[in-house]
């Protein structure tokens, strides 16, 4: 895990700008800094790297990694590097390090661009092939590791963070106000549907893409992997066994490290399954960390206590608190160079402080499980809609009423016929509040859009969440939250083999016996306490906005009401009404957080 930045083109950055960029990159990688530059044909190439050492801690694995006419800078981890290295050795390749970095370079020499089809991991890399006079950029299948690009008359700049591109290019692009508008109107799910950033002219390289450059112009990247729903006949037992085998492999390879491992633990099943398999099946030593919210409908202390007893691992907890909210939000928005996208993502950033204070450089999380195993409240109703017209429908509705239906708070989800009667209903996804237009100066931006991946209503939703909505938002914030503290963060469920298998499982097997995420629960039996594994409640890092934003604090009120470009988009009088201590925020919690976050984003940018 590291930071990367670079340039290819006719007019390179100054040495001073490069060195200032490297100094800025140290936060992502404090264990080593490196700079390479050379003429390649008619172009100048510059590659910058800051290292966070996780595998093969020796300096021999520092980057830029130069060998055999190639120069590589790489951010991420190749989890199956051991298996790929063994395959390359059998083909005659030799190695001088024990790093996954060298595996990428050797794999490129062996298979060219085809190397991306053999890697399991998260990555953003730039690989210069001096002999061929070309530079190759790539990102992992889910976009876990960021890579932004900016085309200019001088050439192409790229980097792990927008601030690196700004510094290296000596440019300050304008804010994309339209993107802030979309965020305020629709929330985090809309942020990554368009391949842009919060700054004009700076755009992310798409996930699951690879592109080869011979100069400063960016060709269209090639998408090397796209998930497809292709259900195959299988029994429940075959589905459980297939999930278990691939899940255990996914956890096993993500435990490869030469440093101690932390795990963020909620009271839900996702993180507990990863922890249970790691501790009880692979005998991995873990330290666990949790965020605690005391309000009853968010309180998961009982389940976290059960998890800790079951794991027998060292554990740390941190309570949610309002003290320091604005200062922390300001640090995060400045580091993000974007609004913090949700309360849950803010709380994750809060928790990283505790993990960092304990000296860890590596953490594992349970993100992505809901989107691949069907874990959200609306997933159950999409699944029921798929049964409508069959003899199973009424009995399954009765099961729902006695299971997940008991815990639903959103009124849209209290009707089991919701997606039978209105299969295109998406208000619960794209609106930040029940009547968002009443608080906005302008209409609520574009209508809600989703990719038409398949005809199955549930799987279409899940694939949109995986590739365009919730998972990209979680990964964006997760990378920045953890790398602010120089900590690598691994996501166990975003495994290409696991997800490819799940896309062959018929949808009727995803929810059974009144349980969402049925296959995950069954695959992990014996590794997680039953009171967690078969709880009907859904838990994760979350809290109401009033646990963070104190509406009786004069400093908070002054900040929320001070002049800002946000009030060109949002009605000031509506925000003022929400800030009254006795105002009912039902349905408005997330919107009020988004207003605070967008205001802080503007406040941290020069000139506002």
Classify burial at 465, counting beta carbons within 10 Å of its beta carbon; exposed 0-12, middle 13-18, buried 19 or more.
Answer: buried
Distance, in Å, from the CA atom of 590 to the CA atom of 592, rounded to the nearest integer, reads: 6
Name the token pair of 498: 């696991």
Give yes or no for a contact between 32 and 62, defined as CB atoms under 8 angstroms apart. yes
Give yes or no for a contact between 278 and 284, defined as CB atoms under 8 angstroms apart. yes
Per the listing, tokens 């298979």 go with 111
Give yes or no for a contact between 37 and 12, defined as CB atoms under 8 angstroms apart. yes
Backbone angles phi, psi at 290, to 5 degrees: -135, 155
The HSE-up count of residue 411 (CA atoms within 13 Å, CB side) is: 4
Give yes or no for a contact between 255 and 278, defined as CB atoms under 8 angstroms apart. yes
Give yes or no for a contact between 77 and 490, defined as CB atoms under 8 angstroms apart. yes
Give yes or no for a contact between 365 and 122, defined as CB atoms under 8 angstroms apart. no
Per the listing, tokens 């988009």 go with 569
> CA–CA distance from 194 to each of 188, 197, 391 (Å)?
12, 9, 41
In terms of phi and psi (left: phi > 0; alpha: psi -120 to 50; beta: otherwise), the region of 364 is beta
Distance, in Å, from the CA atom of 154 to the CA atom of 302, rounded to the nearest integer, reads: 58
Give yes or no for a contact between 225 and 240, defined as CB atoms under 8 angstroms apart. no
Identify the DSSP state of 281: I
Q: Is 530 annotated as a binding residue?
A: no
Cβ within 8 Å of residue 546, ≥6 positions away: 585, 589
Per the listing, tokens 């018929």 go with 506
* Cβ atoms within 10 Å, residue 66: 15
Positions annotated as catalytic residues are: 2
Distance, in Å, from the CA atom of 16 to the CA atom of 1, rounded to the nearest integer, reads: 25
Backbone angles phi, psi at 73, to 5 degrees: -120, 140
Distance, in Å, from the CA atom of 71 to the CA atom of 73, rounded to the nearest integer, reads: 7
* Cβ atoms within 10 Å, residue 33: 18
Which residues are registered as beta bridge partners of 286? Answer: 261
Distance, in Å, from the CA atom of 241 to the CA atom of 259, rounded to the nearest integer, reads: 31
Cα 532 to the center of its chain, rounded Å: 24
Nearest to 409 by CA among 548, 582, 540, 587: 587
Give yes or no for a contact between 570 and 541, defined as CB atoms under 8 angstroms apart. no
Cα 46 to the center of its chain, rounded Å: 28
Name the token pair of 423: 């299969």
Name the token pair of 281: 């099946």
Q: Rg (Cα) of the chain, in Å, rounded?
A: 24
Which residues are registered as beta bridge partners of 129? Answer: 70, 134
**Residues annotated in the binding site for L-glutamine, as ranges?**
100
**Residues annotated in the binding site, as ranges?**
100
């Amino acid at each position: 895990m590291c930071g990367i930045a670079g340039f290819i083109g006719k007019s390179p950055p100054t040495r001073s700008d490069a060195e200032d960029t490297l100094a800025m990159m140290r936060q992502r990688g404090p264990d080593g800094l490196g700079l390479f530059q050379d003429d390649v044909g008619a172009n100048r190439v510059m590659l910058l790297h800051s290292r966070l050492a996780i595998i093969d801690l020796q300096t021999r694995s520092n980057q830029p990694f130069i060998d055999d006419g190639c120069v590589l800078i790489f951010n991420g981890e190749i989890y199956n590097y051991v298996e790929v290295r063994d395959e390359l050795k059998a083909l005659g390749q030799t190695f001088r390090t024990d790093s996954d970095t060298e595996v990428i370079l050797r794999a490129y020499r062996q298979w060219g661009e085809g190397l991306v089809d053999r890697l399991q991991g998260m990555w953003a890399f730039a690989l210069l092939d001096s002999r061929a006079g070309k530079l190759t950029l790539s990102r992992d299948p889910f976009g876990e590791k960021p890579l932004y690009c900016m085309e200019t008359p001088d050439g192409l700049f790229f980097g792990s963070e927008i601030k690196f591109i700004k510094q290296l290019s000596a440019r300050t692009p304008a804010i994309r106000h339209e993107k802030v508008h979309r965020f305020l109107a629709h929330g985090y799910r809309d942020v990554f549907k368009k391949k842009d950033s919060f700054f004009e002219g700076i755009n992310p390289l798409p996930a699951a893409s690879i592109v080869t450059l011979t100069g400063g112009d960016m060709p269209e990247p090639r998408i090397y992997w796209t998930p497809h729903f292709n259900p195959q006949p299988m029994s429940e037992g075959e589905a459980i066994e297939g999930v278990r085998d691939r899940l255990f492999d996914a956890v096993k390879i993500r435990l490869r490290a030469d440093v101690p491992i932390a795990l963020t633990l909620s009271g839900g099943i996702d993180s507990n399954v990863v922890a249970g398999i790691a501790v009880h099946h692979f005998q991995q030593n873990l330290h666990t960390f949790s965020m605690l919210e005391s309000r009853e409908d968010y309180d998961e202390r009982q389940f976290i206590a059960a998890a800790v007893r079951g794991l027998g691992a060292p554990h740390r907890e941190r309570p949610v608190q309002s003290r320091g909210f604005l200062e922390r939000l300001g640090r995060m928005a400045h580091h993000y160079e974007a609004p913090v996208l949700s309360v849950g993502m803010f709380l994750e950033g809060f928790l990283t402080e505790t993990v960092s204070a304990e000296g860890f450089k590596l953490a594992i999380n349970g993100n992505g499980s809901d989107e691949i195993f069907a874990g959200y409240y609306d997933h159950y109703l999409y699944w029921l809609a798929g049964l409508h017209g069959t003899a199973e429908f009424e009995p399954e509705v009765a099961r729902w009423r006695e299971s997940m239906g008991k815990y639903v708070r959103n009124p849209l989800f209290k009707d089991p016929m919701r997606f039978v009667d209105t299969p295109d209903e998406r208000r619960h996804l794209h609106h930040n509040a029940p009547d968002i237009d009443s608080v906005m100066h302008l209409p609520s931006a574009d209508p809600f859009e989703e990719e038409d991946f398949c005809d199955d209503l549930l799987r279409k939703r899940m694939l949109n969440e995986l590739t365009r909505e919730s998972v990209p938002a979680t990964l964006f914030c997760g990378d920045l939250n953890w790398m602010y503290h120089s900590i690598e963060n691994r996501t166990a469920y975003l495994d290409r083999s696991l997800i490819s298998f799940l896309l062959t499982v018929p949808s009727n097997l995803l929810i059974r016996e009144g349980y969402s995420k049925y296959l995950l629960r069954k695959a992990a039996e014996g590794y997680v306490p039953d009171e967690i594994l078969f709880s009907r409640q859904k838990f994760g890092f979350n809290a109401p906005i009033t646990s963070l934003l104190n509406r009786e604090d004069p400093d908070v009120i002054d900040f929320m009401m001070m002049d800002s470009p946000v009030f060109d988009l949002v009605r000031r009088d509506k925000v003022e009404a929400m800030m009254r201590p006795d105002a009912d925020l039902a349905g408005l919690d997330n919107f009020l957080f988004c207003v605070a976050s967008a205001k802080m984003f503007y406040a941290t940018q020069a000139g506002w």
